[in-house]
Amino acid sequence: MRICYFGDVVGRAGREVLIQNLPRIREKLNVDFVVVNGENAAAGFGMTEKIGEEFFGAGVDCIVLGNHSFDQKEILPILDKDGRIIRPLNYPKDTPGRGMSAFKTRKGKTILVIQVMGRLFMDPLDDPFAAVDKVLTMAKLGKKYDAILVDIHGEITSEKMSMGHFCDGRVSMVVGSHTHVPTADAQIFDGGTAYQTDAGMCGDYNSVIGMVKDEPLRRFTRKIPGGRFTPALGPGTACGVFVETDDKTGLARYISPLRVGGRLIEIWPDIK
């Protein structure tokens, strides 16, 4: 199975570069399933139903969120109705929405998508490791599911990498989100799980993690807020991760960064 995961979509620049390029990406790489982090898609904070439908119309199969899951209040009832949209699994029990969802691809393959949120320098949620372990005890890769993807949404690289090793051999891929900068550590662990600490963002990289530079600089240099953060609107780069799995085991046999458009160097997987 061929899976693409795209990091946090930030504002209009991120939406446009993803929507414009995704059909071409799916066709060129013969992609079976696409996951996108949409938690910053609505002007940098949360996601709306309309944006979700635009993503699905462009070829997205699943949208994961994060710490901005509930910034746009209109999305709350949608989270309970639409299984294609996932918020972190380790939120409290009665939080709207779901933390994982199972899908069937157009070729009849099954994939389970799970998202958890880290706890270091983030909201004090339930233990993400225990939450994932509980699911994986029952959801067996290569038996019930042809592929399993885990998104770890967090600040700290060590926490994300620990999650990768914790899941090694039990899932197809673990990919990090939230910090909006693509890391250079795409690899396959010893147990066969593909891993990258952060996929990066889909947005304007002539910015401070997708936001117009003036306000972040003001806060760092003067410690005085001058207004809201607003998404940068220059040409966007779509940053993601491409993974191909083994049809028999569900484990990864290839991983590569994927970058299209904007300021960053373009990278396409070297695969036929």
pLDDT at 257 over 90: yes
* Residue 262: predicted pLDDT: 92
Structural domain boundaries enclosing 115:
2-260
Range list of β-strands (E), 56-214? 62-64, 85-86, 100-104, 110-117, 147-153, 173-177, 187-188, 194-196
Alpha helices in the chain (DSSP H): 11-29, 49-58, 76-81, 128-138, 157-167, 214-222
* Residue 53: predicted pLDDT: 96
145-to-81, 101, 106, 139 alpha-carbon distances in Å: 23, 12, 15, 7
* Residue 224: predicted pLDDT: 87
pLDDT at 173 over 90: yes
* Residue 250: predicted pLDDT: 98
As beta bridge partners, residue 203 has 237
Would you say residue 270 lies in a domain?
A: no
For 203-226, letters b (16+ CB in 10 Å) and e give bbbbbbbbbbeebeeeeeeeeeee
At 46 the three-state DSSP class reads: coil
* Residue 272: predicted pLDDT: 74
* Overall average pLDDT of the 39-61 stretch: 96
Q: Which of 68, 153, 178, 180 is catalytic?
A: 68
* Overall average pLDDT of the 243-269 stretch: 97
pLDDT tens for each residue of 68-113:
999 999 999 999 999 999 999 999 989 999 999 999 999 999 999 9
* Overall average pLDDT of the 40-57 stretch: 96
* Residue 225: predicted pLDDT: 86
* Residue 115: predicted pLDDT: 98
Mean pLDDT of the residues in the chain: 96
Residue 153 appears among annotated catalytic residues: no
Would you say residue 265 lies in a domain?
A: no
**Region for 210 from its dihedrals, namely left if φ exceeds 0, alpha if ψ lies in -120 to 50, beta otherwise:** left
Query: What DSSP designation does 186 have?
Result: -
* Overall average pLDDT of the 21-41 stretch: 97
* Residue 144: predicted pLDDT: 92
Would you say residue 267 lies in a domain?
A: no
As beta bridge partners, residue 267 has 259
Would you say residue 272 lies in a domain?
A: no
Number of domains in the chain: 1
Q: Look up the CATH number of the domain holding residue 108.
A: 3.60.21.10
Residue 38: burial class (beta carbons within 10 Å; 0-12, 13-18, 19+): buried
Q: What is the pTM of this model?
A: 0.96
* Residue 226: predicted pLDDT: 82
Residue that wins the pLDDT comparison between 204 and 228:
204
* Residue 85: predicted pLDDT: 98
- Quickly state the pLDDT bin for 228 (edges 50, 70, 90): confident
Residue 155: burial class (beta carbons within 10 Å; 0-12, 13-18, 19+): middle
- Quickly state the pLDDT bin for 252 (edges 50, 70, 90): very high
Q: How much of the chain, in percent, has pLDDT values that exceed 90? A: 96
* Token pair belonging to 99: 């933390």
Q: Is 176 within 8 Å of 160 (Cβ atoms)? A: yes
* Overall average pLDDT of the 172-188 stretch: 98
